[in-house]
Amino acid sequence: MEDREGCIVKYARIIGWGKYLPEKILSNQDLERIVDTSDEWIYSRTGIRERRIATPDETVTTMSVAASRAALAIAGLDAAELDLIIVATSSPDYLLPAAASMIQHELGAEHAAAFDLRAGCAGFVYGLAVGTQFIATGMYRHVLVIGAEIISKFLDWQDRDTCVLFGDGAGAVVLQASEEPTGLLACCLGSSGADYDALFVPGGGSKYPFCQEVLDQGWHHIKMNGRRLYRFAVTTLPQVALEVLAMAGLAPRDITLLIPHQANARIVQSVCERLEIPEEKVFINIHKYGNTSAASIPIALCEAVEEGRLNPGDHVLLLGFGAGLTWAAAVVRWGVPELSISRLFSWNFIRECVPVSEATVTACRATALLTVLTHCLWQLFPGGREQR
Ligand code: ACO
């Protein structure tokens, strides 16, 4: 299969990654003052110590734009070069239009198609699979995949079963067509719709549009059956993990890092025990951010790279599950971005290698502009030079 430029394409290399977390921290101690709970209960049952909560100014769009800009900077790519933007979210700014379209506008990605993808907390891995397909068929060269959520807006802050679990945030990756066997090597996606009511927001959709009854019944809040979800996760995830590893021709011991959906540390522990994956090969940040739903895997992936836990050639296992109920497992082979001439000279790349402030970059740009202007003036008015 050839892409638009006549290259043989099969893989979608991850060439950029970024994240955004709201600054506002809500600790377990803060929650103790809101509902009948304790730091001890929350931490021992979930592994969560604190989470980030968006301010009224922060939306799925603003958080996604910030995470995407960071990812594009690492990739050394201009937003205008993007062909497609996929936003995995269950908490978009509006029912209509898709958050993806507003993000496309804010980024200046004028050539990109854009759509939202809803697959609960498994949404980012679904998005990675969809984006990879567009690249593998040769239709697109650069795809931005985002996972972003503001679940805090859908929580009943009197319901201790749910309000202690979730947090807000966004993560993004840039995919680029590549002939090297990197990026997503295999994936296993699925759904168990019979369990749709184990985690759902009953009101506000087309079945129960907003009305007084929806408000009175609290149907605009997340309803969750934690035990059902727990059982689903600990039985399904080990099975699909083995399935996707077999598809990639790998065994659990070949995995460098497992990046699971950060829903509950006990679920992760149970899955690792069944797969015999040691603790040191698992990335966990749930203590800092809680369950950020579709954003949890891209945020964790970004932090894993920042902490130097991934090297070229490493195999990463991504495991997601969530509302639907859905699941998504993927094997990703890590690869570094190719160094093109344009990337080497891009401001983003220079800033990535040499951490300079925005002011320094502006000063350099102004100096360069002044030099060019002076040169032009001297060319236009050579007399001034001669008189002196
Ligand atoms: N603080 C104190 N006590 C609490 C709290 C709380 N925040 N919440 C519940 N309890 C109480 C319950 O009322 C119950 O009391 P009771 O025995 O007197 O009735 C007791 O603690 C035990 O409740 P359980 O529900 O049995 O607690 P469990 O050990 O199952 O833990 C939890 C609950 C953490 C929700 C767990 O079931 C879980 O993590 N499930 C999966 C949830 C999940 O993954 N959700 C999201 C997945 S999809 C997505 O990410 C969007």
Contact present, 257 and 316 (Cβ < 8 Å) = yes
In this predicted structure, what is the pLDDT of residue 150?
Answer: 98
Q: Which two tokens stand for residue 252?
A: 């659990």
Q: Is 206 inside a domain boundary? A: yes
CATH classification of the domain holding 121: 3.40.47.10
- Helical H runs in the chain? 28-32, 39-46, 60-75, 99-107, 123-136, 160-163, 212-217, 226-247, 265-275, 286-289, 296-306, 341-344, 347-353, 358-380, 382-387
Q: State yes or no: is 220 an active-site residue.
A: no
Which of 91, 159, 230 should be mutated for ligand 1, with most atoms under 8 A from CB?
230
In this predicted structure, what is the pLDDT of residue 356?
Answer: 54
β-pairing, 315-322 with 199-200?
A: unpaired
Q: Is 315 inside a domain boundary? A: yes
Q: Is 357 inside a domain boundary? A: no
Q: Does pTM surpass 0.75?
A: yes
The whole domain housing 145 covers: 11-333
Q: Which two tokens stand for residue 201?
A: 């927001």
Distance separating alpha carbons of residues 229 and 94, to the nearest angstrom: 27
Q: For residue 287, give every residue at least 6 positions away whose Cβ sits within 8 Å of its Cβ, in sequence order, or none.
A: 43, 47, 48, 49, 50, 265
Q: Ligand 1 centroid to 226 CA: how many Å?
A: 5
Tokens 């035990």 found at: 227
Contact present, 320 and 297 (Cβ < 8 Å) = yes
Contact present, 198 and 228 (Cβ < 8 Å) = yes
Contact present, 308 and 138 (Cβ < 8 Å) = no
Rounded to 5 degrees, what are φ and ψ at 318? -105, 135
Residue nearest to atom 39 of ligand 1 (CA): 264
Distance separating alpha carbons of residues 58 and 79, to the nearest angstrom: 21
Sheet holding 84-88, edge to edge: 113-117, 84-88, 142-149, 169-178, 11-20, 183-191, 326-333, 315-322, 257-260
Q: Is 347 inside a domain boundary? A: no
Provide the residue type at 369 as one letter. Answer: L
Distance separating alpha carbons of residues 143 and 152, to the nearest angstrom: 28
User: Hey, what long-range contacts does 30-33 have (CB within 8 A, 24 or more apart)?
Assistant: 31/163, 31/164
In this predicted structure, what is the pLDDT of residue 8?
Answer: 65
DSSP 95-117: SSS-HHHHHHHHHT-TT-EEEEE
Residue nearest to atom 26 of ligand 1 (CA): 227
Q: Which one is catalytic: 28, 264, 285, 291?
A: 291
Q: Is 385 inside a domain boundary? A: no
Q: Ligand 1 centroid to 374 CA: how many Å?
A: 69
The enclosing H or E element of 14 equals strand 11-20
Q: State yes or no: is 211 an active-site residue.
A: no
Q: State yes or no: is 187 an active-site residue.
A: no
Q: Is 154 inside a domain boundary? A: yes
Tell me how many domains the chain contains. Answer: 1
In this predicted structure, what is the pLDDT of residue 354?
Answer: 53
Q: Which one is catalytic: 163, 261, 272, 348?
A: 261
CB count, 10 Å around CB of 198?
20
Q: Is 322 inside a domain boundary? A: yes
Q: Ligand 1 centroid to 300 CA: how many Å?
A: 23
Q: Is 5 inside a domain boundary? A: no
The ranges of the chain with pLDDT < 50 are 341, 352-353, 386, 388
